[in-house]
Structure 1
């Protein structure tokens, strides 16, 4: 490795603070001690690294790190090589402002810095620190999805470094099989070093904030949601959190609204009136307008800054906001977070974004599973090493409960949500009917399984 002639940086444990900083992830549970961390400066730095790793006996494991927000170890390697794309974070808006080119190591905050100044928007993450690469390859559900579809629905093309060292452009007309696969199939086909997305007119001003309720109101809140959904439009969505905020740490429900194109905040006031003016009253009502996604993506900064960093996340999809389903999870969460102060930072998130636009796309048009569904996530947060396993067990038990209960109530088993998996889930349950084609694409572009982190797709030779 030391003899590779690349323009970027190669870090080892002997590199001191630079190496330690390169191992840092959003969750402390996601970091593993790599033998080498390679930070490419140009796309051409990557093929020599792949050639070296694959020429060893046995081949050296390769992991790719974009933003590092996932709570698994997919972007880390114990004794292997991490290709850290952090130096490849350039964002370039086209002169006609109809598209934006984003390198694979960029955060969504880097993108929003550019779109904010240019007065355009792009389908991205609700949080600035999420990496563009992992978010997009898993499908990409964000605040603009109800209006414009997922991130992969807005992807025009991508530049991919393949396992054999070739650097190719993938689009509808170039490497179409590869383009199909990376739109929802994850990082199993190469290192995506560049994305080109469609842009849209600005979604701002955006109303956002928090409506918080005591846990004693859970039944009333859950009764409001089905009626509220009947008049919901693509302009408004919310995330509902089950959490225990300081200083009293009592079970609470937080509704975090997002209302697009809301210049004076009046739409947010009207739309969320059922959560203010009926039988329930929020104990905290702080909703205001921000100019754009740059500001909105920083809304959670204060709360995340103090959250325990031993974080295990699991999540899945569900068909509808069945009160019975949510109440069952509520009871399970309350009981778990009462067991110890060490785990009371754990939370459950439910995303309520109109799924119609995403589901309009034919099921075989991209690797992303298509049907009307919502997503939820369980955050197991521990303050001590001793409580980590309990949080991991809790997150796994809850998502399994949601999948089973949702299937009972809806008559449909949706499976797992790729970006909220941990790696041991069955690929058939993640990709559904698209798995066979993904296996064929894997055989074409990565027959030796150089990319073996995450939900591993087994090559299928025709």
Structure 2
């Protein structure tokens, strides 16, 4: 049995990831008089910031590290980076930017890859990494988390206290990054999405006001699914839970591409079961090149993950064994091992930045259409095999339990897509080489998404905003119901009438 080179295979499996936060030292070349010009003279702002805040200027190591993006396709242009030391520093920075009519963009790990981000052609980055505290309440029912806290830190802090929360799956994803767009995670089958756990939050609004909101605010609904459009969350109080299961198990089953139909038929029959996948069961899969396994075509890596056991139940794994995989790799451990098992831990390649373009083209599905899966695999394989410039690309399928998500009323939040069971997305990874290649990639990504959409029998499709490419309509990102669109637009007009938050999947 061969050993997969997962360091290579997973190098671009960063679809939900946000880069590891860094507490960077003050730039040695910090010199406002030399670097600041015109509206970017930061002297007045610096006088109002806390002693722990930092300002980084271009041509310094600290600026380059803080402003680096995971995807270089249509990345925003940053002229200066402000690193808040307190929540009020965020408010002061937004007020400063407004006074000088400067764009601003909050960032924790900079893994958002929407092309709309490129519309920021100048401005201030507000780098949230220092706002990273995690404090469990006295009654153990909630935790207050800084707006820049990363999932690994949150998971570990809560685990040490005997608690868990719904977070994103990557260790290097922040809580708020995915949460403001809904937020899928390992524990959603029990409790719902990341956003469903919100209790209250401190948020800096477009006018620079720092305010606390909860379910009594009309803005609360919008922050849970479309929050990127309405404010910068500086801290969050969220529900936490006692650890129910410490034991988890996974089986990684790898197939050659000719098994694509059989694999996804088995997934429908034995895992999804018409949308009734058990709460403690998760299926994920990737299509990617691995010449050590198959020198000619992408392989299918299929994960079956189960909680509360040391070995995944054979009722779930045996049908896949019977298909004839290339390899079977079981593992057991705890909840804290899930990220490393799936190649998305802090020290693994997806949590790094490699100066590549990484657009994604997401679509939600109810089930796997076997014919569409086969057709999509063939198109994908033809585009990425061999020496193709796209040969590090990956096609991702995430099949979480949806019981906890669907138990929450659909009208309770701006996240609109609670009835879907699978999140699929090609991630086209390549070295930037000009607009011609960018256009070819966009055509490929949308063609693959269209194949899957055709398999649903629907005229339109539904996309996860946190994975969006940037050409999706508001209906495709936030739901097609007219009442949803009207409510979002009314709240946008009330809280951000001049479009200060207009770079990440903006509401017109």
Q: TM-score, normalised by structure 1?
A: 0.90
In structure 2, the residue matched to 1:180 is: 221
Question: Which residues of 2 match residues 263-274 of structure 1 at below 5 A?
Answer: 264-265=310-311, 267-274=312-319
In structure 1, the residue matched to 2:249 is: 207
Question: Which residues of 2 match residues 50-449 of structure 1 at below 5 A?
Answer: 50-56=94-100, 59-72=101-114, 77-173=120-216, 175=217, 177-202=218-243, 203-228=245-270, 229-230=272-273, 232-247=277-292, 248=295, 250-262=297-309, 264-265=310-311, 267-276=312-321, 278=322, 280-292=323-335, 294-299=336-341, 300-301=343-344, 302=348, 304=350, 309-338=356-385, 340-373=387-420, 374-383=422-431, 385=433, 387-406=437-456, 408=457, 411=458, 413-432=460-479, 433=481, 434-449=484-499
SS in 2 for 1:159: strand
In structure 2, the residue matched to 1:26 is: 70
SS in 2 for 1:395: helix
SS in 1 for 2:397: strand
In structure 1, the residue matched to 2:6 is: none
SS in 1 for 2:226: coil
How far does residue 424 in structure 1 lie from its aligned partner after superposition? 3.2
How far does residue 20 in structure 1 lie from its aligned partner after superposition? 0.4
CA distance in 1, matches of 2:242, 2:330: 23
The higher-RCO structure (CA 8 Å, 6+ apart) is 2
SS in 2 for 1:10: strand
1:441 to 1:392, Cα distance in 2 relative to 1, 3 A: same
Is contact 2:91-2:209 (8 Å) kept? Answer: yes
State how many pairs are aligned: 445
SS in 2 for 1:312: coil
1:197 to 1:249, Cα distance in 2 relative to 1, 3 A: farther
In structure 1, the residue matched to 2:26 is: none
SS in 2 for 1:49: helix
Point out where structure 2 has 5 or more consecutive residues left out of the alignment.
1-41
CA distance in 1, matches of 2:149, 2:370: 38
CA distance in 1, matches of 2:476, 2:259: 35
Point out where structure 1 has 5 or more consecutive residues left out of the alignment.
none
1:416 to 1:47, Cα distance in 2 relative to 1, 3 A: same
Is contact 1:317-1:415 (8 Å) kept? Answer: yes
1:455 to 1:72, Cα distance in 2 relative to 1, 3 A: closer
Is contact 1:208-1:259 (8 Å) kept? Answer: yes
CA distance in 2, matches of 1:185, 1:359: 18
In structure 2, the residue matched to 1:12 is: 57
How far does residue 214 in structure 1 lie from its aligned partner after superposition? 1.1
How far does residue 369 in structure 1 lie from its aligned partner after superposition? 0.3
CA distance in 1, matches of 2:285, 2:222: 32
SS in 1 for 2:401: coil
CA distance in 1, matches of 2:144, 2:492: 26
How far does residue 160 in structure 1 lie from its aligned partner after superposition? 0.6
Pair 1:48-2:92 in alignment:
yes
String of CA shifts for 1:427-459, please: whole Å, max 9, x gaps: 13221221210111112211111111122123x
CA distance in 2, matches of 1:400, 1:104: 36
Is contact 1:307-1:345 (8 Å) kept? Answer: no
SS in 2 for 1:182: helix
String of CA shifts for 1:100-137, please: whole Å, max 9, x gaps: 22111111111112122122211111111112112000
CA distance in 2, matches of 1:377, 1:91: 32
CA distance in 2, matches of 1:317, 1:155: 24
1:305 to 1:344, Cα distance in 2 relative to 1, 3 A: farther
1:307 to 1:379, Cα distance in 2 relative to 1, 3 A: farther
1:322 to 1:168, Cα distance in 2 relative to 1, 3 A: same
SS in 2 for 1:141: coil
How far does residue 402 in structure 1 lie from its aligned partner after superposition? 2.6
Over the aligned positions, Cα root-mean-square deviation in angstroms equals: 2.3
CA distance in 2, matches of 1:80, 1:125: 29
1:250 to 1:328, Cα distance in 2 relative to 1, 3 A: closer
How far does residue 412 in structure 1 lie from its aligned partner after superposition? 6.9
CA distance in 2, matches of 1:306, 1:13: 21
Is contact 2:360-2:467 (8 Å) kept? Answer: yes
How far does residue 169 in structure 1 lie from its aligned partner after superposition? 1.4
